[in-house]
Amino acid sequence: MTMELVCPAGSPAALTAALEQGADAIYLGLRNPTNARAFPGLNFAPENLRLAVDAAHARGKKIYLALNTYPTSDQMALWKSSIDIAAEAGVDALIMAEMSLLDYAIRHHPGIPRHLSVQGSATSPAALRFFHEQFGISRAVLPRVLSLSQVERVCEKSPVGIEVFAFGSLCIMVEGRCQLSSFVTGRSPNCHGVCSPAEYVHWEELPGGRRRVRLGEVLIDEFDAGESASYPTVCKGRYRAGDTPFYALEEPTSLNTLELLPRLAQAGVVALKIEGRQRGPAYVGSVTRVWREALDTLERKEGFVVRPQWQEALAHVAEGHQTTLGPYHRSWH
């Protein structure tokens, strides 16, 4: 079975790039806090969502809507009305994590497939059974924590198709279980759809070309002149345990699983997700092109070899210009 290539779009231009370069499905968010990339200037107003669905359907491709944040009791109307908007626009699936929203969707729009978001933190067949039995999900996106052999075993026993992250920025924490951003800023991926939001980021220029970056009051990192500086998410800062500051949690790198493609296909993974709704059309276009080519190559069954130009193109757009196999590779743990 061919694995579906699911690509991100935070804007109509990114959507066009993904469609032109061969995405099978594109996932989007509405322009409100109902999704985990609720960044200023990003995402789709309801009328743009309808246009996006039309554009994708005209090419025989699909649109999935991410509604994967967690509303508190007094916010539920916005999330539910967003589900209604998605249904009206004719999206092909809803990507959700929150139980009451899954429940709402199955009751009010049972015809729209429900995918469990990575934010649902489901890492075992038992957790997947829970969402399948309770809310009839048809697919689940696994958190970026399992090793490849664990992914293989989950695929064997899962009641639903499994989608995994193939490329992009690497959340090293179990998604849906990380409060590092809210600890410092009060704003979290779970509740606000943001991580280390830009309005809390302060750069300081120091003598000699050194730079410091803070999130709120907290010093996340300091860079030498000419050292490439990354976005200050808490998990990618340098801290001290002894004398020398080090990346205590993770280096600024991107996940890249190109070389695992044959094993992911063999495991029965049904879809590959490219991270990056916050990235521009150039990123979306070049990453989609590489993965389309790779998947088509795999499909021809003529022996799959990762081409150097693919890796070059991906490294060029990767965070920190470095890539890693991340949790799929046991040594990462």
Partner 1 sequence: MKISLGPLQYFWRKSEVMDFYREAANWPVDVFYLGETVCSKRREMRLKDWLELGAILADQGREVVLSTLALVEAESELAALQRLVDNQRFAVEANDLSSVQLCRERGVPFVGGPTLNIYNHETLALLQRSGLTRLVLGVDQGAPQLEALQRQAQLAGHDFPELEIQGWGRLPLAYSARCFTARAHDVPKDDCGFCCLEYPDGLPVSTREGQPFLTLNGIQVQSTACGDLGPELNELAVLGVDIVRVAPQREGTGAVVQRFAEALSQGRTAPRHGDCNGYWHGGAGMAQISPTAISMQVPGA
Q: Is residue 119 classed as helix, strand or coil in its secondary structure?
A: helix
Sites of contact with partner 1 (CB under 8 A): 70-76, 97-100, 103-104, 120-127, 129-131, 134, 145-147, 150, 153, 172-174, 176-180, 182-186, 188, 190-191, 216, 218-222, 234-235, 237-241, 245-246, 248-250, 327, 330-333
- As measured in angstroms, the least distance from the Cβ of 129 to partner 1 is 5
- As measured in angstroms, the least distance from the Cβ of 27 to partner 1 is 21
> Is the CB of residue 5 less than 8 Å from the CB of residue 291?
yes
Q: Which of 260, 296, 26, 249 is nearest to 151 (CA)?
A: 260
> Is the CB of residue 221 less than 8 Å from the CB of residue 234?
no
Closer CB to partner 1, residue 22 or residue 176?
176
Task: Judge residue 86's burial from the number of C-beta atoms within 10 Å of its C-beta, 0-12 exposed, 13-18 middle, 19 or more buried.
Answer: buried
Closer CB to partner 1, residue 11 or residue 68?
68
Closer CB to partner 1, residue 76 or residue 87?
76
Q: Is residue 53 classed as helix, strand or coil in its secondary structure?
A: helix
Closer CB to partner 1, residue 75 or residue 230?
75
Closer CB to partner 1, residue 11 or residue 196?
196
Token pair in block for residue 190: 């779970």
> Is the CB of residue 313 less than 8 Å from the CB of residue 290?
yes
Q: Which of 58, 80, 66, 82 is nearest to 10 (CA)?
A: 66
Q: Which of 266, 265, 254 is nearest to 323 (CA)?
A: 254
Distance from C-alpha of 288 to C-alpha of 188, rounded to nearest angstrom: 28
| Burial 170-207, CB ≥16 within 10 A → b, else e | bbbbebbebebbbebbebbbbbbbbbbbeebbeeeeee
Closer CB to partner 1, residue 150 or residue 297?
150
Closer CB to partner 1, residue 124 or residue 297?
124
